[in-house]
């Protein structure tokens, strides 16, 4: 099967979920018009990656009023699954006949865990069905201030109109058991959602493609200093008077099952990065390496290993 994939490298309207959703709908339409059948967005694109956790002062102070105000806005602009935002994304996927991978801040609206936020990846099939929901297993470092831990039941690829699609979020790519579980679920295309695809994130994405013998769409966002919450004070090194300085530089890239870069990386601009892929290439590359088949050693590493 041959088809075009698209990585949407853009800035949301930070901390405004419905304005960001409107922008997403336009970008999905544009990607589909360019022939894309799979459209991918960066980590927590709705309503934007919380870079302020790392570049603003006093975010870890106990009971800081400004930080609590920003967190409240984040909660108010997070996505309930299912809810009005997922309904709109479903409609966009169905209208354009695309498989859509959108990463969001998810808010639990009722029941146990009410109010908890998760870093969540949503996959919609081309008929609009919400095919998969994956919550990031382990928020990294400062992220633990705002997100809960995923339960791990979602670490698997799912069947879609373009083949089996799976994904991991950011530093999940350095969790070997998570990678192996996804490999065993038979991915054709892997989504690597990042805040930006800087050098080590590109290394992880290319390694994943080579190890898993699958295509990888690694998607990063754009963010400027001016996008930081006005309630918070940037670190001194983010000099005042430079609102256009880049915080997240994109770097999106599309990678083949031998680790070869097919498109990108592109930095410092909003762009829809596309590439045509051929799933038959996966079988060709499995001849030399297949970590779930002829290159696996379940007798050594699996439940039945010798003592």
User: What count of other Cβ atoms lies within 10 Å of the Cβ of residue 296?
Assistant: 15
If we measure between CA atoms, which residue out of 220, 167, 171, 165 comes closest to residue 188?
Answer: 165
- Catalytic residue among 43, 106, 187, 285, which? 43
**20: enclosing H helix or E strand:** helix 17-33
For residue 7, what are the β-bridge partners? 40, 273
Residue 250 tokens, joined = 């994109």
Q: Distance between CA 108 and CA 272 in Å, rounded?
A: 31
Determine how β-strand 130-135 pairs with β-strand 117-124: antiparallel
**Is 199 a residue of the active site?**
no
Residue 143 tokens, joined = 């992220």
Angle between helices 199-212 and 176-184 in degrees, nearest 10:
40
Helices (H), 34-115: 52-55, 65-76, 84-96
The residues near 49 (Cβ < 8 Å, ≥ 6 apart) are: 42, 43, 195, 221, 223, 248
Q: Give me the active site residues, please.
A: 43
């Amino acid at each position: 099967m041959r088809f075009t994939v698209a990585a949407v490298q853009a800035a949301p309207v930070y901390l405004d979920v419905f304005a960001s959703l409107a922008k997403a709908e336009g970008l999905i339409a544009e990607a589909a018009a360019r022939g894309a059948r799979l459209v991918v967005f960066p980590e927590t694109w709705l309503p934007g990656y919380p870079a302020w956790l790392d570049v603003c002062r006093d975010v870890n102070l106990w009971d800081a009023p400004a930080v609590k105000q920003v967190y409240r806005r984040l909660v108010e602009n997070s996505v309930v699954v299912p809810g009005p935002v997922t309904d709109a994304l479903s409609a966009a996927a169905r209208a354009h006949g695309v498989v859509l991978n959108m990463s969001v801040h998810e808010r639990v609206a009722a029941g146990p865990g009410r109010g908890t936020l998760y870093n969540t990846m949503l996959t919609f099939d081309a008929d609009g069905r919400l095919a998969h929901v994956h919550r990031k297993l382990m928020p990294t470092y400062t992220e633990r201030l705002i997100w809960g831990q995923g339960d791990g039941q979602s670490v698997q690829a799912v069947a879609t109109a373009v083949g089996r699609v799976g994904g991991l979020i950011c530093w999940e790519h350095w969790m070997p058991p998570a990678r192996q579980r996804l490999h065993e679920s038979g991915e054709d295309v892997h989504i690597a959602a990042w805040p930006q695809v800087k050098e080590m994130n590109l290394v992880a994405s290319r390694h994943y493609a080579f190890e898993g013998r699958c295509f990888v769409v690694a998607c990063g966002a754009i963010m400027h200093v001016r996008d930081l919450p006005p309630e918070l004070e940037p670190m001194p090194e983010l000099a005042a008077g430079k609102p256009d300085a880049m915080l997240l530089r994109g770097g999106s890239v599309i990678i083949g099952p031998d680790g070869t870069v097919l498109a990108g990386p592109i930095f410092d601009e909003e762009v829809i990065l596309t590439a045509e892929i051929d799933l038959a290439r996966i079988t060709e590359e499995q001849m030399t390496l297949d970590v779930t088949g002829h290159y696996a050693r379940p007798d050594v590493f699996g439940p039945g290993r010798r003592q």
